[in-house]
A and B are shown apart, each in its own frame.
Chain A
Amino acid sequence: MPYLGDEHTVRELRRALSNPNVQADHLRYRNTIHRVIRVMSQGQDVSGLYSEMVKACATVDIVQKKLVYVFLCAYASLNPELSLLVINTLRKDCSDHNPMIRSLALRNMCNLRLPGLSQYVQQPLTVGLKDKAACVRRVAVLGWAKIHTIQPTTGIDVAVVNELYGLLRDPDPVVMVNCLRALEEILQEEGGVAINKPIAHHLLNRLKLCDVWGQSEVLAVLQRYRPRSEDELFDILSLLDPALLSHHAPVMAATLRLFLSLCSTLPAVCMSALERVRGPLLAAAGSTSRELRYAALCHIQLLLRSEPGLMGEHYKRFFCGYAEPPYIKQNKMQVLVELVNDDNVAMVLDELRGYCTDVNTETSQTAINAIGSIGRSYTDRCLAILTGLLGLKQEHITSAVLQTLRDLVWVCPQCGDAVCSALEGWEDNLQDSQGRGALLWLLGVYGDRVTGAPYLLEDCIDGVRSEVSAEVKTELLTATLRLFLSRPAETQDMMGRLLVYCIEEEVDMCVRDQALLYYRLLHCGIEEVRQVLQGGRRSDPSLGPLIGRPPEPISQWASSFNTLEPLTLGASTVGNSDPATPKPSTLTPNTLTSNAEAMTPTPGDPHLPDCSSGALSLSVSPALTPEEFERLWLQLEKGACLEVCVACPVPRCSPEGLQVALQLVNIQTLAFTPPNTHPWRVYLYTHTSHISTKTPHTLILAELLHTGGEGEKEEEEEGEEEGEGEEEGEKEGEGEKEGEGEKEGEKEGEEEGEGEEEGDKEGQEEGDGEREKEKGLLVVMRQHPGDQTALRGFLSVLTTVLHTLSTHTA
């Protein structure tokens, strides 16, 4: 069809519609209307034909009627006056003897979405609720919901609401489900339809009669019901159990969600539900519909967060098919990484190795990253593959491998040798700036072991003028300085050239500032440089224990199961280009190094204004016994004491993980409460000393306290002082704390009016959610003797660690 302008088409159609000859011949009339709708759905504006179409509405031909209604509903809001003309016809149809016409008229009357409509519609709707034909009742029930959305202010009559509750017992299952839907919308402000025991049991008993869509909606509504007793709970569960195995994914997912919410206090039942649902989920993950596959894969990832072993033996189901779209391949690799164990590692790596040469560069990068993540536990095998890939001399592969090696070395310093031998004799010229950054970082850190390092750096320095990426330049500066420390003779000259260029000619402020900083640092003496630049490497292994994250409780993700969230989440991580590895690898080289430097406060650290006085070092010796700690804590209460609120969420890692991480920056953890208790506390201590100024050692004691609400904080602190006396710093003390935390939760639960059995758990979780919003840790520090600089330094180290931890585990 040749494209005609809107005006022209509308004029022509109008002429046809108002032609009496056309109107007389119902086939021609219908065809003309057909054309109107076609033009409309192509996106052209034909609202000008409204009055002609209103006339066309009065017909006995059902097909024509339906077509006209499609048109009228689409444009009603533009022509409110004219639409009122239709209402007469519609009202007449509402009393037609044919139920199909009645339902059609009733439905479209409500679909007009006109604010002044409700007065005309209420009467037919009330009649419709009592209609003999189920299809009319279905429409009438939803009609009330439509009226409610058009005019949310005028409440729906209580009598109607009661009638809708009554219709929950309607013999037609769709009417029943529609009643639930309508009541949910009408009673939204009161928290939706009230589910009491008789209603819940009625719904459960009729579940089988509903179709797939109805079932999943009923199951969703039932989530609000709390069984009165354990017996009732188990009756419901055994009734629902077969639905877990349903081969309709919507029903299966809705059932599992209901299971998880009903059994939030029974982790064992939840776990067995996850086991049951494995089969259907795997089937969905292999479905013909790619989109369903993707949804299932995203949800499998959620499940694996709590039970990593769930899919272990089915790892082959996550091998990629060659024709699958990249987003599914990448998702499957993310799952594969989680499933690796001693038995299947060889197969999985072999498979992943195959994906590294995928045509799609993002897929191949994901595969390389995935191998890198597996390398944290199976270092040798993965290193062999990764270094082998370097031999392919493919730009994007090499770049991804270098980045992965950098991340791997950072976590597992023991693979340094293998990386060095891979870098030996390097001659490639990389185009990709991220890859080049990674290469420079590796050269800087392992420069002493790679013979050719100075030559490679020299090439870069010679080409620095044509370098566009500021990140690569800062990386180059750091690498050169590091190399200067290990091989001064070869590096001195080119370092001079680089610094001159960066200070004199560079336009990027960050690069220039960094060059200036290094220049001045060099003036301070070689020891300072060493302290600043090589300090970072010391903290490498700290990330090691954080990788193997402990299984999360199911409640962490249960609320997002069967929602769109897991799917959109997947979208954002894949966008980051390396989704397979957890956060540490997504740090750009720049942030990596700056993080490392921040671990030991450097002169560049904004927290320390007097940078010239030299760096600060922390040490755990001499060790402190819990008794001593307690004594000192009470003693120092009056003295030097500082309370700071740090904007940092509670790290989600295990207490052991936190302990190890803090230990690596020489902060000793003495006691802590178990995770997820409130208030959450950790007691720490460390000794500080200044390297250059030789001030006496300072002992810092600190308490991390996470409460939530502002109002609570004061109370909490008072309580804490009392608690201090009992605090032995040993396990018993912790136990008491835990008890305290639980009591807290209980209290809250009651306040929220949920005095039921699950109340305490519920309340606690809700409290959890609330508190998370008010992220913040209170750090109470006491020290002896007083030294503000040391205190600030300590604080910055502590916050860095906490931030790192929370980003890794978030």
Chain B
Amino acid sequence: MISQVFILSSKGDHLIYKDFRGEAGKDAVNKFYEMVTALTGGQPPVVMKHKELHFVHIRQGGLYWVATTKADASPFTIIEFLNRLTALVKDYCGCLSEKSVQMNFALIYELLDEVVDFGYIQTTSTDILKNFIQTEAVSSKPFSLFDLSNVGLFGADTQQNKVAPSAAATRPIVSSQGEQGGKNEIFVDVIERMSVVIGANGVLMKADIEGEIRVKCYMPSCSEMRIGLNEEFSIGKSQLSGYGAAVRVDECSFHQAVRLDEFDTYRILKVCPSQGEQTVMQYQLCDDLPTAPPFRLFPSIERDSGGRLLMYLKLRCDLPPKRSLPLLSLFSPSLFSSLSQELSSPDQSAELQPKNKAVHWEIPRFPGGAQLSALFKLEVSGLSAASLQEVGPVSLSFELPKYTSTGLQIRFLRLSPIQPGPSQRWVRYVTHSDSYTIRI
């Protein structure tokens, strides 16, 4: 059971505080902030203990979401609850940021009141909650640069204008009546996270993909939705059939509301999405990418006569030619003092980040099939043969819209019966680099 829930900004301002059981005083909030700021980077801050009180917190949207408990509760439950709470706040307020929480504090109090009673979680389903929540969300200005930087899980939403109306997925699910258009929207996102390690010799050492299908529904009452996946979709290793075409995952799990009676034969998921965001399917694929990894790096590192370190990096994108890459950044930990660079095109930039001991190379556009190169000349104090060892690994972070590395596609999306009035259905794909590391 949960004793208190509070939300703090990263600077320690109290945004929301709710005491459910009256077991612990309000000073717990300050105590928590004291403890969390006193931590050095390396300590695990998820669970902290002060006297009898356990603090469990998560960080989302730059805020601390904290639950305290005196009993020895299940950590999974509390962490999942906090995650769910952030998701609810995001659903109701549009986005997660200090500003939106501040503006919608009344709504959040109301939510907390309905979601938790006496420290016991009552319900977190939007279907039930929508009957009780009366306060309307105050959304911040619909489109501002500030919001964009906060929006979206992976920042993938910056690409939205290509796929869906801008800021469409970041507005509150319950909006005041009569907001023109977009009322009956439904978004189905296929999001994949890649973690790849490529060895110094170019051999793929590890390639895992964790993916999910997420449905965000704005319809006040949605009838059954049928999501058709690729027909050749297979689960597990044994079912491998035919050549190449098959889309295979190792493990797959579904939301409990998903009905699977047509899944085995037709690969159709049937679900009645409730308002808000939910994950209907999760899947994993380990060590068996159907395609080559999207990026390859060909590094060469040497010392020049002047005691500088020369790093010549050639980066190749193995995606089909039409794709372009929004942003790529590259780190390579090392101990440098100054940097001079030669990049292959002017819109790229590179800078030295002494704090992270890294060179940060940013590539705004990267057409598929292209090859970019960069030459970094680095002054290293006390350069020795061993310093060469210390360079690397290179890590890439990127988002590939309209691309899934497993090849999973959504064939169709049908609502039955057909909704009255205009309804818009959007399907979006994005592959995101969870960790893409290339050893040097």
With A322-B395, A563-B74, A574-B42: A283-B123 Cβ-Cβ less than 8 Å? no
- List the one stretch of A259-267, A325-333, A439-447 in contact with chain B: A325-333
List 12 additional A-B contacts (Cβ < 8 Å) besides A283-B284, A568-B54: A66-B113, A74-B19, A146-B118, A149-B22, A213-B77, A247-B254, A283-B251, A288-B193, A350-B199, A565-B72, A574-B42, A574-B44
| B205 contacts the other chain (CB 8 A) | yes
| A564 contacts the other chain (CB 8 A) | yes
In contact, B386 and A391 (Cβ under 8 angstroms): yes
Q: List the B residue with the shortest CB-CB distance to A44.
A: B14
Question: In the complex, how many angstroms separate the beta carbon of A372 from the nearest chain B beta carbon?
Answer: 18
| A453 contacts the other chain (CB 8 A) | no
In contact, B120 and A142 (Cβ under 8 angstroms): yes
In contact, B45 and A327 (Cβ under 8 angstroms): yes
In contact, B105 and A564 (Cβ under 8 angstroms): no
Within 8 Å CB of A70, what residues of B?
109, 113
Interface of A is mostly: helix
Question: In the complex, how many angstroms separate the beta carbon of B116 from the nearest chain A beta carbon?
Answer: 10
In contact, A392 and B390 (Cβ under 8 angstroms): yes
Interface of B is mostly: mixed
| Interface-centre pick from B13, B19, B69, B333 (highest chain A CB count, 10 A) | B333
Sample of 19 A–B contacts (CB below 8 Å): A37-B106, A42-B14, A43-B14, A63-B110, A63-B134, A66-B109, A66-B135, A70-B109, A149-B22, A181-B1, A247-B282, A252-B76, A254-B74, A286-B210, A289-B79, A291-B82, A391-B385, A393-B382, A570-B44
Query: Among the listed A67, A216, A351, which residue makes an inter-chain contact with B197, where contact means beta carbons less than 8 Å apart?
Result: A351
In contact, A249 and B76 (Cβ under 8 angstroms): yes
Query: Among the listed A145, A316, A323, A326, which residue makes an inter-chain contact with B397, where contact means beta carbons less than 8 Å apart?
Result: A323
Within 8 Å CB of B80, what residues of A?
212, 248-250, 292
With A213-B124, A321-B435: A291-B46 Cβ-Cβ less than 8 Å? yes
| A41 contacts the other chain (CB 8 A) | yes
In contact, A317 and B208 (Cβ under 8 angstroms): yes
| A100 contacts the other chain (CB 8 A) | yes
Size of the chain B interface, CB-CB below 8 angstroms = 93
Question: In the complex, how many angstroms separate the beta carbon of A322 from the nearest chain B beta carbon?
Answer: 4
In contact, A181 and B120 (Cβ under 8 angstroms): yes
Within 8 Å CB of B323, what residues of A?
none
Query: Among the listed A211, A327, A567, which residue makes an inter-chain contact with B123, where contact means beta carbons less than 8 Å apart?
Result: A211
| B384 contacts the other chain (CB 8 A) | yes
Within 8 Å CB of A220, what residues of B?
74
In contact, A358 and B118 (Cβ under 8 angstroms): no
| B49 contacts the other chain (CB 8 A) | yes
Within 8 Å CB of B117, what residues of A?
107, 138-139, 142
With A181-B120, A323-B435, A360-B41: A216-B284 Cβ-Cβ less than 8 Å? no
| B434 contacts the other chain (CB 8 A) | yes
| B16 contacts the other chain (CB 8 A) | yes
Complex Cα gap A520–B153 (Å): 70
| B48 contacts the other chain (CB 8 A) | yes
Within 8 Å CB of B21, what residues of A?
149
Complex Cα gap A314–B286 (Å): 9
In contact, A142 and B79 (Cβ under 8 angstroms): no
Question: In the complex, how many angstroms separate the beta carbon of A748 from the nearest chain B beta carbon?
Answer: 26
Interface flags for B12-30 (1: CB within 8 Å of A; 0: not) read 0111110101100000010
Q: List the B residue with the shortest CB-CB distance to A73.
A: B19
| B122 contacts the other chain (CB 8 A) | yes
| B305 contacts the other chain (CB 8 A) | no
Complex Cα gap A568–B69 (Å): 14
Complex Cα gap A321–B197 (Å): 9
Q: List the B residue with the shortest CB-CB distance to A149.
A: B21
Complex Cα gap A305–B387 (Å): 39
Complex Cα gap A294–B385 (Å): 38
Question: In the complex, how many angstroms separate the beta carbon of B259 from the nearest chain A beta carbon?
Answer: 14
In contact, A283 and B282 (Cβ under 8 angstroms): yes
Complex Cα gap A394–B109 (Å): 52
| A34 contacts the other chain (CB 8 A) | yes
| A335 contacts the other chain (CB 8 A) | no
Complex Cα gap A323–B40 (Å): 17
Within 8 Å CB of B256, what residues of A?
246, 248
| B437 contacts the other chain (CB 8 A) | yes
Complex Cα gap A296–B44 (Å): 13
Interface flags for A459-482 (1: CB within 8 Å of B; 0: not) read 000000000000000000000000
With A63-B135, A220-B74, A331-B44: A283-B110 Cβ-Cβ less than 8 Å? no
Within 8 Å CB of B13, what residues of A?
42
Interface flags for A336-372 (1: CB within 8 Å of B; 0: not) read 0000000000010011001001111011000000000
Residues of chain B in range 309-325 having any CB-CB distance to chain A below 8 Å: none
In contact, B389 and A388 (Cβ under 8 angstroms): yes
Complex Cα gap A42–B208 (Å): 44
Complex Cα gap A359–B356 (Å): 6
| B297 contacts the other chain (CB 8 A) | no
Within 8 Å CB of B390, what residues of A?
357, 392, 394
Within 8 Å CB of A712, what residues of B?
none
Within 8 Å CB of A563, what residues of B?
72-75
Interface flags for A59-82 (1: CB within 8 Å of B; 0: not) read 000110011001000100100000
Size of the chain A interface, CB-CB below 8 angstroms = 98
Residues of chain A touching chain B, judged by Cβ–Cβ distance below 8 Å, are 34, 37-38, 41-43, 62-63, 66-67, 70, 74, 77, 100, 107, 110, 113, 135, 138-139, 142, 145-146, 149, 174, 177-178, 181, 211-213, 216-217, 220, 245-250, 252-254, 279-280, 283-284, 286, 288-292, 294-296, 298, 314, 316-317, 319-328, 330-331, 347, 350-351, 354, 357-360, 362-363, 388, 391-394, 562-568, 570-571, 574-575
Complex Cα gap A75–B118 (Å): 17
Within 8 Å CB of B434, what residues of A?
321, 323
Within 8 Å CB of A250, what residues of B?
74, 76-77, 80
Question: In the complex, how many angstroms separate the beta carbon of B264 from the nearest chain A beta carbon?
Answer: 17
Question: In the complex, how many angstroms separate the beta carbon of B336 from the nearest chain A beta carbon?
Answer: 13
Residues of chain B in range 286-330 having any CB-CB distance to chain A below 8 Å: 286-287
Residues of chain B touching chain A, judged by Cβ–Cβ distance below 8 Å, are 1, 13-17, 19, 21-22, 29, 40-49, 54, 56-59, 69, 72-77, 79-83, 105-106, 109-110, 113, 117-118, 120-125, 131-132, 134-135, 153, 193, 195, 197, 199, 205-206, 208, 210, 251, 253-256, 282, 284, 286-287, 331, 333, 335, 356-358, 382, 384-387, 389-390, 392-393, 395, 397, 434-435, 437, 439
| Interface-centre pick from A113, A139, A284, A568 (highest chain B CB count, 10 A) | A568
Question: In the complex, how many angstroms separate the beta carbon of A164 from the nearest chain B beta carbon?
Answer: 14
Complex Cα gap A483–B330 (Å): 50
Within 8 Å CB of A249, what residues of B?
76, 79-80
In contact, B77 and A292 (Cβ under 8 angstroms): no
Question: In the complex, how many angstroms separate the beta carbon of A182 from the nearest chain B beta carbon?
Answer: 9
In contact, A562 and B435 (Cβ under 8 angstroms): no
Within 8 Å CB of B286, what residues of A?
314, 316-317
In contact, A326 and B76 (Cβ under 8 angstroms): no
Query: Among the listed B42, B205, B208, which residue makes an inter-chain contact with A347, where contact means beta carbons less than 8 Å apart?
Result: B205
Within 8 Å CB of A562, what residues of B?
74-76
Within 8 Å CB of A331, what residues of B?
44
Question: In the complex, how many angstroms separate the beta carbon of A340 from the nearest chain B beta carbon?
Answer: 16
Within 8 Å CB of A280, what residues of B?
253
Within 8 Å CB of B132, what residues of A?
100, 135
Q: List the B residue with the shortest CB-CB distance to A327.
A: B44
In contact, B333 and A316 (Cβ under 8 angstroms): no
Complex Cα gap A212–B79 (Å): 13
In contact, A295 and B79 (Cβ under 8 angstroms): yes
In contact, B41 and A216 (Cβ under 8 angstroms): no
Complex Cα gap A146–B119 (Å): 10
Question: In the complex, how many angstroms separate the beta carbon of A366 from the nearest chain B beta carbon?
Answer: 8
Q: List the B residue with the shortest CB-CB distance to A245.
A: B253
In contact, B333 and A357 (Cβ under 8 angstroms): yes
In contact, A253 and B76 (Cβ under 8 angstroms): yes
Within 8 Å CB of B14, what residues of A?
41-43
Complex Cα gap A363–B393 (Å): 15
Complex Cα gap A289–B132 (Å): 28
Question: In the complex, how many angstroms separate the beta carbon of A257 from the nearest chain B beta carbon?
Answer: 8
With A37-B109, A249-B80: A321-B123 Cβ-Cβ less than 8 Å? no
